[in-house]
Every structure is written in structure tokens, then in C-alpha cells.
Amino acid sequence: MKVLKFGGSTISSAENILRVKEIIESQSDQTIIVISAFSGITDQLIELSKRAAKRHKDFFRIFNAIENKHLDIVDSLFRDPLKTEVRSHITLLLKELGSVINGVYLLNDLTPKIQDRILSFGEILATYIMSNIIPNGYQVDVKVLIKTNDDYGNAKVNFDLTNRLIRSYFRNYKKTGVVPGFIATSETNEITTLGRGGSDYTASIISAALEVDRLEIWTNVDGFMTADPKKVKKAIAIDALSYAEAMELSHFGARVIYTPTIHPVYQKNIEIAIKNTFNPYAPGTIITRQAKSEGKSLIKGISSIDDINLITLQGAGMVGVKGISSRLFGALAQNNINIMLITQASSEYSITFAINPEDFGKALKAIEDQFETEIKIRNEINILVEKDLSVIAIVGEKMKNTPGISANLFTSLGRNGISVIATAQGSSELNISIVIRKENLKKALNVIHEGFFLSHYKDLHLYLVGTGTVGSRLLTQIRDQQEILMREHHLKVNVVGICNVFKMMLNPDGINLVSFEEDMEKFGEKTDMDLFIKKMQYLNLRNSVYIDCTADPGIAGTYREVLNSYVSVVTANKIACSSAYSQYRDLKKTAQQKNVKFTFETNVGAGLPIISTLNDLIRSGDKIIRLEAVLSGTLNFIFNTISEEIPLSSAVKLAMECGFSEPDPRIDLSGVDVRRKLLILSREAGYEFEDSDIITVPFLPAECFQGSLDDFWKHVVKQDIVFEERRKQLAKENKKLRYIARLDQGKATIKLVDVDVHHPAYPLEGSNNIILITTDRYNEQPMVIRGYGAGADVTAAGVFADVIRVANV
């Protein structure tokens, strides 16, 4: 024999009821069916009774909605003559409900006893309809089976009497009985209800009394999930749970089944199956005394309670004093206040516990009354309250005696900027519970879920600012590599925000990189960087990276706020790291404090691994003695291009056309760009340099950098002859022009020099860069890094590499 329970969402329409009918008809075993009220009806009955008690005349509107819901379902399911019969009986039940509601309206009073009677109509109406649609079905009067005390709203079951009545009633059971859940009667035959999850509880009570083979709870999900699928999209169904695991998950918010439901069947060792009405062939979750799960994760699931208050009782008056805990929790129990979590300092200085916010007022008064002397007279104990919190529990019997679980949990949260306010773990090691800020709940759940269930791959959420040459190439590279990164490196890269000069767009599910330009034009908002960052902060996605592919000082000015939001920053923009040393140091310190990354490899040498190599050398204990480098791919291209046929001014224009130079080539030709790079390298080498510490020898007269860009072109043409004469002389001497940046014994200089064939920079072609790093270890022969130092593709690749480094932390 089996008991099948169907929730309100599974029978919310005529179509769904027919689906349930098919499931029942497919059963080979003898079955008892337990039914909840149709979806939403219980809430409507509560609102109806409250409005009637307050004499709001619009309660008729709610009553009519309830009536129409049931009669519409009857009209859709049945044909005459059965339709007329069912409709007539439903009308009588609704008339009886109307009479009770009218009485509440006239008396201007709603007692818990009357409230229970009103609520009972939801299950009675649904059960009558279901009993007439199921072949060989009949409605069971549960009021003669389940007996309780008269604690209306949450009545306690008299199991001895109830078990005898159920066994007697079903002794000669032949047909398919349809039982209304949630409802019972007191020993004086007054209607009572079983509280939250009462229909599941009804099914469990009947299952245990009859010692059936299996209890099936049919819901609208595939079983217990590894996390709430509304908050964690990658949650998956759990194949098996032990009773203990199921009770822990239920206690901490998993609403698939309520904790009291498990107790009766647990005592009789009856298997529970959680099944999906809308996916009946899915295996669901099987709950037994000892679960046999094929899952590799050390935890079974994550559950959460969205809204809690944390109350802390603390003070010297608690240390070494016996009976404090007894008095505290005794006072709370007397006021029917449920405690969700308890944690106590080993010093006995404080006790912290979590409660439902609805109980806060009662709890505070109960504590103040119980400890009035200690609080008001002796001033030995204080009460601290924290609101807007959530509790998360990770549950699994495999956690016992397994090291590293807590480390994984707290490390995952810390890396994503989520502070743990309180924590608790029982000696059974079945559960680790943490309290966090409510605003971080969704992010925390996803972080924990990824850490324990999706360790085979990692999500990365990117916000890109700037879609010019570098930014657009970066998006192309990401698009082309997404599938490969997922398949070969188990990294899922999601671009969730894009912003350019005109438009911005954010989508937490990811932006389509094939059509993003068209989508931004159609759906994007006008660019507002403050709003862009606020929306990024609101989304609060785990493993987030803010990418700057602009040269905008304003964007560089946003880094500190972004880092403080526990979002890593990857930038190709040199401005932040070449500004005041205090700002550079502050950004690095902020990133370190928030345990996020601030990377800027492409600030020097485009995609060449220069900064990361310097960092590796220093971290390994080496000391930088000297740096010598060609750091401007633009200038190297220009000096390699100048020839008898191509003068200086034409070479500059070619550099612009090839995308090597800044939009304003004066930035390159003035040495500003190289000075910024050398400043950054000097700082990374350990020197607290400012821009004024870099000595730059100009190679063009000052007039080239005065006035407009048109003025520049007029003046630079005048230098064509000068540079051609110099080029000819160098060609005779077998030398070349190189714009060299040096850091030597704490002195930084930049100037245009002649190099001969023996210098490592002599053979540099095109826009290539080179850097020679002399250290304590690389003294006789410096380390040499050489390669493309300019160009949108290599710069974008360098930014992409920085992004991957963030993911690999």
C-alpha cells in the first residue's frame, strides 16, 4: 500500500488535475490520496476572514473569486449529469462557507477556532472534486480520523487515538480514498488545523498508522534540490537523503517537505519519495534511514531562511553564572518562540540566537522581563539586535570527520566579499549554519553551490567598459574562446555588462556577443557610469571582474569603489597606476584587503608578460637592479619605418592607420606614454616614484606639442629633414634609433639613443618591445622579454589573460 499526497500547485487547474488523475491510475499498488487546497485558496481564505472581521465590504470580491475558481474547474472537468451533481454539492459547501463568513462580519470578530473552520473549506472543496474525478474514488472524512488538542492553528496530534481510528477505518479498505490534508478535529469534534505543511503531515500520519510501503509527496519540482532553484539556477535534484539530512534541510528553509512530516514515517522506517507531478518519470528524491547516494559532493544540499533577526545576550553578568541558558530559552519557550540557530561564546560572555522577525517583539519582552534585574538594575547584561539577516545551512552526513569543509565554505565566501556574522555546528557534523546579510543571500548561495557542487567548472562574470578597438577585439576573443574555455578549462565566461560612450547594457544571464552591438542600440540605456556601477553592485554576482579598455581618467577614478564592492579590476588604462603614488598604493592595498585582484599587465608592453614576471621575481626573493627597455611599440614602428621614401611625418600617420598609436599621436611622441609605463614598472620594482621622478629627454621641439592637432602636423613636417639626415648618418655607422627607458639604481630616464648591432634592441622589428631585466640572480646575463608591444589584438589578448588569471586564483 502507498500514500500519495498532491500539493495545491499540482492541482491548480483542470489540466493539472487530469495529469494527477493519470498518475493515480498508473499506480499498481493500493493507494490512499491526500489532497491540499487548490493553489492560492488558503491565502484567499485567510484574507477573506480578515476582511470580514474588519467589516470590509469588498470581502465579497474574494469570496466570489474562490467560488468562481472551483466552479470553473468543475465545469471544465465534468459532463452532465455528474457535472450538475458535483456543482450542486460545491455550491452547498460554498453557501456554508458564506454563512460562516457572514457570521464573522456581523460579530466583527475572528477567533482562532473560527479561522480553522474557514480554512478547512479549501481542502474539503478540493477533495470532493478530486474524489469524483478519480475512478473508484471516494471522499474520506478526515475529521473522524485525526484527533488533536484544541490548539487552533497548530494543533498537536493525539497519536494513540488517531492511529487506532485510522487503522479501524481502513481495515477493509478497497476503493481509492481521497483524504483532505491539513484538517483534524479536537476530542470535542471541533475542527482544527495542523499548521504549516499540514497536508504533508496528514499523509505522514496516515502512512505511519497503516505502516504503508511508501509515502510519495508529489510537488512541482524534481525533488529536494541542491539549493533553491529560484536563487541558484544551476541547482540540481538530490537523488537520495537520509531522514536526518532531510530534516536539517527542511528546518533551514527547504520547502519541499516540512520537518514534522518526517517524524511519523521515520519512526516506522517508511520510505519517502519526493516526485514531480509535471515530470513524473524523473527519479525524484528518495528519503530513507541511510541514504545511498551516487553524488561525489561531500554535502547533500544547501538551504536558507531569507529573513531572520539575531539577538545576542551578553555581559559580565553571564560569566560563570548557572542557569542563564535555562532562564533565557525557558522564557522564549513559554512565549511559543521558535529558535532557529544558537551559538555561544566559550567564555560564556554571550549567547546568540536567531528567530523569525515576526517573533521579535515577543522575544524582546520575554528577555527583558526574565532578566529585568540584570539589565535595568545591575547593568550586567545587554541585549544586541541585528536585523535584515539570512541563515544558510550546508547539510550532509559525509561531512562528519572530513577535514576542509569549513575551509571551503568560508574561503568561498571571503573571496566574494561576504562576511559571516554568526556560525553554528552541532557535534554530529551534519550541518554547518552561517548567518549573513540578507542582501548577500543570493550571491552566497551561488558561491557555496559552485564551491561544493560545481567544482568541475567555475563561473566568471565580466563587466566591460569601452568597446573601441581593444574592447571590441576583446569581446571577439571571448566569444571565440567561450566554448573552448568551458570544454577544456572548465571555465564559463559570461559577459554580463557592457558600457561605451553612448550606451550601456547589463544582463545577469549573459549578453549575446554576436549581436551585442545591435542589442545595445535597441535595448541599451544612455550611459551613466554611476548607475552602471550601482547596477553591478546590486546584481552582486560572484566572481565578478570589471574591465577597463578605455583611456578615460573618469573610469580610472571608479576603481576604488569597484574594488570595495569585492569586484576584481582588470585594466588596460594606464592612468590609475601612473597617477599619484598614494592612489596607486591605495588601489593595491584595497584589492588586497578585499581579497580581489587588481591587474594591469597591458599597461606595459601590451600582451607581453612583463609586470607578472617582475612580480614573480620579487615574490621569489630576487631584487631588481636595472631595467632597460623599448616600451613604445608606436615609436619603435615609427623609427623602423622612417626611410628615404617615408619621412617622419608619414611614418607617424602610418602608425595611426595601423592602430599602433594613441588617437592623439602626441601622447606617444612626447614620451608621456613611455613615462607612464616606466613609472608603473618602477613602482612594481619597489620604488615609490612620482611622475616628476622620471627624467624625460624630448626628441621633438616644444612647438610640436603646442596648439591643436592641426598645428602639430604643420610643425612635425618641419622635422622630416632633421630626422632624415640623422637616419643617413646612423645608416653609415650601422646603427638605429631606439627610444630607451632605463631604471638603474633608483634613477629613471627616458631618451632617444643610437644603438649598434650588439645592443639587444637593435634587431627589433615593427612595433616590437623589449625589456632587459637585471637582478641579483640574472646579473651577468639579463632576462630578456621581447615581442609585439602594440596593437589592438595583442593588447586585448593581454587583457583576456589577466581575466583568466583572476579566475585561476
Q: Which three cell numbers stand for residue 65?
A: 473569486
Q: Residue 292 forms beta bridges with which residues?
A: none
Which is nearest to 805 in space by CA: 539, 519, 533, 611? Answer: 611
Q: 375 near 383, Cβ under 8 Å?
A: yes
Question: Is there a catalytic annotation at residue 751?
Answer: no
- Separation CA 568–CA 588 (nearest Å): 11
- Separation CA 729–CA 733 (nearest Å): 7
Q: By CB neighbour count within 10 A (0-12 exposed, 13-18 middle, 19+ buried), where does 557 fall? A: middle
- Determine the residue type at 147: K
Which is nearest to 753 in space by CA: 697, 705, 692? Answer: 697
Which member of 5, 442, 443, 677 is catalytic? 677
- Separation CA 70–CA 37 (nearest Å): 11
Q: By CB neighbour count within 10 A (0-12 exposed, 13-18 middle, 19+ buried), where does 428 fall? A: exposed
- The DSSP call for residue 527 is P
Tell whether omega for the bond before 663 is within 30 degrees of 0, i.e. cis.
no
Q: 474 near 557, Cβ under 8 Å?
A: no
Length of the chain: 809
Which is nearest to 199 in space by CA: 136, 302, 96, 126? Answer: 126
Residue 744 CB: number of other CB atoms within 10 A? 12
Block residue for cell numbers 475529521 = 143
Phi, psi (5° rounding) for residue 625? -95, -45
- Separation CA 95–CA 118 (nearest Å): 12
- Separation CA 246–CA 251 (nearest Å): 8
Q: Which three cell numbers stand for residue 102?
A: 457572514
Burial readout 532-552 (b: 16 or more C-beta within 10 A, e: otherwise): bbebbbebbbbbbbbbbbbbb
Q: By CB neighbour count within 10 A (0-12 exposed, 13-18 middle, 19+ buried), where does 206 fall? A: buried
What does each C-alpha distance from 234 to 283, 284, 299, 543 come to in angstroms? 18, 17, 16, 15
Within its chain, how far is the Cα of 508 from the centroid? 10
- Separation CA 251–CA 262 (nearest Å): 11
Q: 585 near 579, Cβ under 8 Å?
A: no
* Helix (H), strand (E) at residue 525: strand 525-526
Positive or negative, the Cα torsion across 558, 560, 566, 571? positive
How big is the chain by its Cα radius of gyration, in Å? 36
Please, what is the Cα angle at 301 between 295 and 303, to 5 degrees? 170
Residue 636 CB: number of other CB atoms within 10 A? 27
Q: Which three cell numbers stand for residue 100?
A: 460562516
* Helix (H), strand (E) at residue 406: helix 405-415
Which is nearest to 435 in space by CA: 499, 391, 497, 383? Answer: 391
* Helix (H), strand (E) at residue 4: strand 2-6
Q: 193 near 119, Cβ under 8 Å?
A: yes
Residue 783 CB: number of other CB atoms within 10 A? 15
Q: Which residues are catalytic?
A: 677
